[in-house]
Structure formats: structure tokens, C-alpha cells
Amino acid sequence: MKHKNRSLLLYCFPALLLYATFVLYPAVGGFWYSLTNWNGLNPTYDYVGFANYRELLNDQVFHRSLRFTFRYVAYMVVLQNILALTLAIIIENLRRFKGLFRTIFFFPNMISMIVGGFIWLFIFTRAFPFFANSLGIAILGESWIGNPQYAFYSILILSLWGSVGYLMVIYIAALQNIPKPLLENARIDGANEWQINWHVVRPLIAHSITIGMFIALFSSFKVFDQVYALTGGGPGRATQVVSLNIFTEAFAMRSRYGYASAKAVILFLIIMVITCVQLLIMKRKEVEL
Amino acid sequence: MKKMVIFFMMFVSFVMLSACESRSDSDTIELNVFMSFPRFQEEFEAYFELFEQKMLEEEGIKVKVNLEMASSDTAQQLLQARLSSNDAPDLYTLHAIADIPSYYDAGYLADLSDATFTELVFESVLESVTYDGKILALPLESLAWGYLYNKDMFEQYDLTPPLTLSEMENVVSVLQANDETPFLLAFQESWIPQLMMALALGAMINSEAPDFIDNMNVGTGSYADISEVFDIIDLIMANGTDRAFETGGASGSADFANGEAAMWVQGPWMSGSILEVNPDMNIGLAPLPVTNNEETTMINLSTSTSLGVSPTSENKELAIKLLNFILDPEHSSSLFSSLKFAPLATVHDYESFSWTDEAMTYVEAGKAYLERPLPPGVTDETAVALQEYYLGDKTRQQVIDAIDTAWRNAIE
């Protein structure tokens, strides 16, 4: 047994080496920089202890970006999973063209979100006003990028478009794994469609819901490219998510790498705590066959 | 079996590591140049080939110039990572006004005061790459800018570029009366609204408020002292095109070229993309009036992209030769004119653009000033605050407070 573990570890070694060099080492380095006042340019910097973290407590701009991110995450986790599950159920119940629809809905996932962002930027700023004029649909004529209220939904639409397909595939796989006899038994016992879905299907795909929630949670906390491509955090700072706030702190403004690293550490802690809690709660609801 | 696996792993990592090192001939000197203009890749590659030939013919040195072009979005991050990890390119581009002070203070710029190119560059341009009494870079892009206007439209309504704020109000009302939009607003990218403040502030500190920067730097000043700058900003914002936040630089250029508005607070660096949409467009360039005092209406002279040399470069002499070659009497004019850069040295004898000539008429009349650097972060904060001002999220006072705070933080 011991021998087997060791050879398994060896197989993981190249990936582990790369992971350690390119992810773990910079992450630890980032924590170290968060205790300094490095500006990303000077060869020297000073150790400042937890001064950066203390400053974060009163940073209104950072707090605002945190609130915006939480709101975004809340919408994303719910909508992404509901939409993905709905699509999965619909596609699974199709008689024909299953593969076609699966491909169509999964397709946006293969496009880089920066590219997707520019596609949607064109739709929001050029196509929407055009349709608003020609078809007389007033809502399309709103300023979908320039008005902070609408800009939030624009980002949501782009993010859902890009990410729902991935979760949908996970849910399709889960649905296909449910043994057909179980469903037939339930039907023979007189359960209707809704009861079957709720009492039989739901517990059996609970592990996929855990994964779906997990993916949606941590990926939406880290959201960057969608916002960067679509609104750049604007107008003003109205749609600035945390990762964009960190980015501008480090690479624009005053190039405060140390301070930006402190923000990144806080974001990491938030994501870690929330996903851990989520996993603990959801794991309890899963059943094994 | 186990040994074989270990051996295989070691082999793989060896191959991976050795692939990182590139081989080169020992008698060839390599010169690494880092630039932030991907759109000029071909022009610079061709020009550096000329340099390689010249070195081989005249001095018998085999030179290989490795040109690395980074997109302007990421160039600064890439460069800073290089510099701070002791992997500096021999030559690299940086912004003369914004970057030279901090890069020099960090020890990343070599003193070029003795290089021969310094004798060729115009005095006013050379001043913008001088810091701490030393010349630290070769200027590439020198600018004389104000706002752009549609010459044909101005002629059609018999207008001339206004020299005072009330004349500007008059121009605006004439345009409005003829159903033309006076100003193009392209506020999606925050650096564009920021240009209004750059021009208005520059005009004020070089005329009515000469002590402004000094006062700010000792903590006694405030943007409230020069609140006049908001008069012109308000006028522009109130008489601009719709959907400002959905228009960026590129679509703004297209809109301006198509005559959607008569004026655009934007520099001549956009002329290329404007002419691409409408090659027959007559672009005018004039200084932005800020107050009713004609003296404050001036052209901004500035230097943006410049080429510096790393002090750690092993081939510093050759690097300086390359800088001198960029102002080579025989080849420099064709390079600068193909890049659409304004002439900045005595060796430049190409015909300049109509808007540059127009700006120069103001400069020659003494109506110009040299841009001064603001502390890091102030321009970025101004950019965002002005977006929020247009949106109605921030009042004038809140904008003033936000920029004041950014300035205070920067000088702490």
C-alpha cells in the first residue's frame, strides 16, 4: 500500500512541481508582500507589519467593491445553478438533437471571456440601441453599459452566458447517472413528475449540486475578465469588483503592490471560509447509492 | 521500475529547464529592446535592421536587436516585473512625464547627458526628458495638443476656435442652433474624460495659479483654489453627445470622423484612427479656453513615449549608439513620418501634419506650456472622479475632495 502511494505521488510530481512554482510560491510571496510597502518597481522596500490590513478597515472604495462582489456572487450562484439545471433537464428530456443543443449551450464556455466581453459590448452598445429604435422595445434603448443599475445586469448576462454551459454539462452527467429502474419504480408507486424530481432525482444529484455551488461560488468571487472587458469597473467605480480593485491598486493608481497584496489575502480568506462552510453544509445533504 | 520512473522524471525536468536557455553565437552582441507600440512592430523591426547593417559595415560588430513589443495595456507590468527581477532589457520605452521620475529614483535609468542625440533634439522637448539635471531618455513621441475640432463644420457656420470661455459658449450656442452637437463625449475609457482636466489644470497652473503644484505638494493647496476648471468641464458635459459611457476611444474616433460632433477633447494621437474612418476629414487642433482670460488659453507641450537605457546593461555603449541612430540624419525622418510622430529634432525635415502646424502657430505666439508631472495616482483618481461627476454620483465638491485626498496620499 505504501509502495503504491509513493509511485502515485511520483506520477503527480511534475504537476505538483509546476503548481508549487507557479501557484504556491507566488501565493506565499504575495502574503509576504502584503506586510511590506513595496511599490512593484523599487528594488528595496520596508516591512510594515499589519499596517496595510489596518488601512483596509477604512478603505471605502474597497468596501464598496466588496459589497458589489457579494451582490454579484449571490445572483450568480442562484441563477447559474438554476439555469444550468433547467437546461440540463430540458436537454435530457429531448428526443432528438441532444448533442446539438449541448454543444450550443456549452460553446460560450470555450470562448475567452475577454473576447466574449467584447462581443457583448458590441451587442449592448450597438445592437441593443438599433433594435430599440427599429422594434420600439424601450428597455433595449437604456444605457446598458453607462447606467450603473443596468451595467450590473449586463455583467450578469455576460457571466451567465459564459458559465452556464459548464455547469450544465456537470448536471447532464449527474442526470444520466441516475439508474432508470429507480425512476420507474417511483412512477409505478404512483409518484408524479414533480415528486419524482424532488424526492428521487434531487437527492441523487446532490453531489453535483455541491460541485455546482462550489464552482459558482469561487469563480464568481474571483470574477475579473467579464467586468474588465465589459465596463472596466465603470462608469466611475460603479461596477468595480474586488479583483479589479486589487488590479487597479497594483497596476494603476499608485502602484501599491504591498497594499494590493493585502487586499488579495483578504479576498482569499473570504473565499476560503465561505466555500468551506458551503461544502460542509452541502456534504450533509448528499446520499450514496 | 521505480528507478526508471525517477530517471524519466529527472530527464523531463532537465529538458524543461534547458529549453529555457537560448543559444547564441558568441561573437554576436545581442541588444534587447522593449517597446510598447505593437502597431509599429514592422517599422521598428525594419529600422533596427538598418542599425544592424550599419554596425556591421562601419564598425564590424555583429549586432542582433531583439525587439519585444508588449501591448500598451500590459507593457508597464511586464517591464516592471523585468526591472525588479534584475532582468532589465537594454533599452525600454517609458512615459517621459509620468514615469521618468519614479524610474530614475529607483535606479533604473542611465544618464544619457553625453550622448550625441542630445545635441539634435529641440530644447523644449529635451527639457521634458530631463530630471535631476540629467537627460535620461530619448524622446520619441512629442506632442503639442489641445482639443480637436472639425474644420469643415467650423467653416460651414463661420466659426473660429474660441480664445475665451464666453467665446466658447457662443460657439456652443451657434452649433446648438444649427442642430449640431458641440462636443463628442467618449467617457467609457476613463483616461479620455481626464484629458479635460489635464488641459484645464495645465492652463491654470501656467497662468493664474502658478503656485498650485507647490501648494499642493506642501499640503496647503486644494483643487478648490482652481475651481474655475470646472466651468469648461461643465460646459462640455452639458453640450455633448449621448451615450458617453458606451463610447470608447475607437468608436469615438469613428463618431468624430463621421461628423457626430464639432469638437472632441482629445489629442492628435487619435488622428490615425479618425482618418482611417474618414480619410478626407479636416482635423483642426486648438487650445482649450478655460476662463475669460485669453492668457490662460494655451497649447499643452508634452512628451509621452521615450526610450531609456538600463544602467545595468552590459552593452550600454551600443545601446546609446542605437539611440543616436534613431535620430540618424539619413533615416530618422522617414521613420518618424511613417509613425506619424511630430518632428522633434533638427534632423527632421519631413512635412508635418496640418494639425501639428496649427498647434505650432500657437506655440510660436508663446501660447504654450510644458506639461508638469503630477504625483502618481492623482491622474487615475481624477479620471474616475470625472466619470462619476458626469454620472451625477459625485458633486463638484466631492470631486475636489477625492482628488485632494489622492494627492495627499501620494506625497505622504
- On whether residue B354 sits in a domain, the answer given is no
Q: What is the ipTM of this complex?
A: 0.76
Are B154 and B240 contained in the same domain?
A: yes
- On whether residue B149 sits in a domain, the answer given is yes
Looking at chain A from residue 18 to 57, which residues have their Cβ under 8 Å from any Cβ of chain B?
39-43
Contact criterion met (CB < 8 Å) for B243 and A10:
no
Q: Which of A13, A144, A235 is closest, CB to CB, to B387?
A: A235
- On whether residue B280 sits in a domain, the answer given is yes
For residues A258 and A45, give the distance between their C-alpha atoms in angstroms, rounded to a whole number.
9
pLDDT given for residue B166 in this prediction: 93
- On whether residue B289 sits in a domain, the answer given is yes
- On whether residue B157 sits in a domain, the answer given is yes
Q: Which residue has the higher pLDDT, B242 or A156?
A: A156
Residue A164 — very low, low, confident or very high, per pLDDT cuts 50/70/90?
very high
| Contact status, residue A212 vs residue A103, Cβ threshold 8 Å | no
Are B106 and B155 contained in the same domain?
A: no
Task: Write a three-state SS string for B276-305.
Answer: HHCCCCCEEEECCCCCCCHHHCCEEEEECE
Q: Which of B2, B107, B244 is closest, CB to CB, to A7?
A: B2
- On whether residue B356 sits in a domain, the answer given is no
Q: Does the beta carbon of A141 lie under 8 angstroms from any beta carbon of chain B? A: no
Closest Cα in chain A to B77: A251
pLDDT at A54 exceeding the cut of 60 = yes
Contact criterion met (CB < 8 Å) for A43 and B390:
no
pLDDT given for residue B81 in this prediction: 84
What's the average model confidence in pLDDT over A235-253? Answer: 86
Q: Looking at beta carbons, which residues of chain A come within 8 Å of B382?
A: none
Are B73 and B213 contained in the same domain?
A: no
Give the gap in angstroms from C-alpha A39 to the nearest C-alpha of chain B: 10
| Contact status, residue B2 vs residue A4, Cβ threshold 8 Å | no
Are B111 and B40 contained in the same domain?
A: yes
Contact criterion met (CB < 8 Å) for B388 and A236:
yes
Q: Which long-range contacts (CB under 8 A, 24 or more apart) does B43-49 make?
A: B43/B335, B43/B338, B43/B339, B44/B69, B47/B326, B47/B331, B47/B335, B48/B322
Bridge-based pairing of strands B299-303 and B368-370 is: parallel
Q: What is the pLDDT of residues B246-262, one digit of tens each?
A: 888 888 999 999 999 99
Which helix H or strand E contains B307, and what residues bound it?
strand B305-309
pLDDT given for residue B14 in this prediction: 58
Quick check: pTM over 0.90?
A: no
Are B174 and B105 contained in the same domain?
A: no
Which residues constitute the domain of residue B163?
Answer: 144-301+366-411
Q: What is the pLDDT of residues B128-178, one digit of tens each?
A: 899 989 999 999 998 889 999 999 999 999 999 999 999 999 999 999 999
Are B161 and B109 contained in the same domain?
A: no
**All domains of chain A in start order, with CATH:** 54-284 (1.10.3720.10)
Distances from the Cα of A35 to the Cα of A52, A251, A260, B85, B351, angstroms = 7, 18, 11, 19, 55
Q: Looking at beta carbons, which residues of chain B come within 8 Å of A118?
A: none
Are B230 and B137 contained in the same domain?
A: no
Are B167 and B91 contained in the same domain?
A: no
- On whether residue B337 sits in a domain, the answer given is no
pLDDT given for residue B357 in this prediction: 87
| Contact status, residue A267 vs residue A221, Cβ threshold 8 Å | yes
Are B235 and B105 contained in the same domain?
A: no
Q: Which of A10, A143, A238 is closest, CB to CB, to B243?
A: A143
Are B85 and B114 contained in the same domain?
A: yes
Q: Tell me, what CATH number does B105's domain have?
A: 3.40.190.10
Given a cut of 50, the residues of chain B with pLDDT beneath it are 21-24
Q: Looking at beta carbons, which residues of chain B come within 8 Å of A244?
A: none
Q: What is the pLDDT of residues B213-269, one digit of tens each?
A: 999 999 899 999 999 899 999 999 999 998 888 888 888 999 999 999 999 999 888
Q: How many domains does chain B have?
A: 2
Are B180 and B36 contained in the same domain?
A: no
Report the range out of A1-15, A241-255, B11-25, B262-276 with the highest average pLDDT: B262-276
Are B220 and B125 contained in the same domain?
A: no
pLDDT given for residue B12 in this prediction: 61
pLDDT given for residue B137 in this prediction: 94
Closest Cα in chain A to B247: A125
pLDDT given for residue B163 in this prediction: 92
- On whether residue B8 sits in a domain, the answer given is no
